[in-house]
Amino acid sequence: MIGLYRNLVKHGDAIAVGFSVLMSVLFALSVYFGAKSGGYELSTLTERADKSDVNCFNLGLWIMYILAIVAIMLMIFGVLWDLFRNFKSGSKTIIGFGGVILVFIILFFTSSHDTNGRYAAYWSHPDFHINETISKFISAGLYTMMGMALVSFVLIILFEVRALFK
């Protein structure tokens, strides 16, 4: 286990980038060959009236599902591992994760849903199944993501400036 950890510390970034490039290439090839075998061109895909037989994006969707599940499982394992190894650091992680969930819940209950303007087409189309709860869930998720991105950006800048003066 220690050898694996040392190897991941040494080559982890290269492995992650290589794996993501491999998945991107597999997805691009599946889209290209899936479109060819389906008898349609990608350039005319948006002009098709019936898109129900378009399945060239399925591999990318399944890869995304599998990688999301693996990432969630690794995150939970990492938090639990850190909690057992170093309770003080692990408890801060759990408190931070709980804070993000709390912010999301607050944003969910304070979000409004828009039924007119550019969203009117989504509300009127029954295939999208968008109701008030889903609209508020999407809004809360977007606001949480934007807030976390802003906080991350500010922290990166602050830590880089601090490292510059050390």
The lowest-confidence range among 19-28, 62-71, 75-84 is 75-84
Residues 159 and 147 in one domain: yes
Examine the fold and report which residue of 60, 85, 110 is the final residue of a domain before the chain moves on.
Answer: 85
Give yes or no for residue 72 having a pLDDT over 80: yes
CA distance 145 to 149: 6
What confidence category does residue 146 fall into, taking pLDDT thresholds of 50, 70 and 90? very high
Residues 110 and 72 in one domain: no
- Compute the average pLDDT of residues 35-58: 73
Q: Mean pLDDT in the chain?
A: 82
| Contact (CB, 8 A) for 90 and 79 | yes
Question: What is the domain extent for residue 110?
Answer: 87-166
Residues 108 and 150 in one domain: yes
Give yes or no for residue 48 having a pLDDT over 80: no
Give yes or no for residue 128 having a pLDDT over 80: no
Examine the fold and report which residue of 51, 85, 119 is the final residue of a domain before the chain moves on.
Answer: 85
The lowest-confidence range among 63-67, 80-84, 98-102, 106-110 is 80-84
Residues 77 and 2 in one domain: yes
Residues 115 and 148 in one domain: yes
pLDDT at 144: 94
Residues 32 and 3 in one domain: yes
Residues 28 and 99 in one domain: no
Domains identified in the chain, total number: 2
Residues 5 and 71 in one domain: yes
Residue among 46, 44, 42 nearest 34 (CA): 42
Residues 81 and 95 in one domain: no
Work out the percent of the chain whose per-residue pLDDT is above 70.
85
Residues 77 and 98 in one domain: no
Residues 136 and 118 in one domain: yes
CA distance 114 to 123: 9
Lookup result for tokens 């591999």: 59
Examine the fold and report which residue of 63, 85, 107 is the final residue of a domain before the chain moves on.
Answer: 85
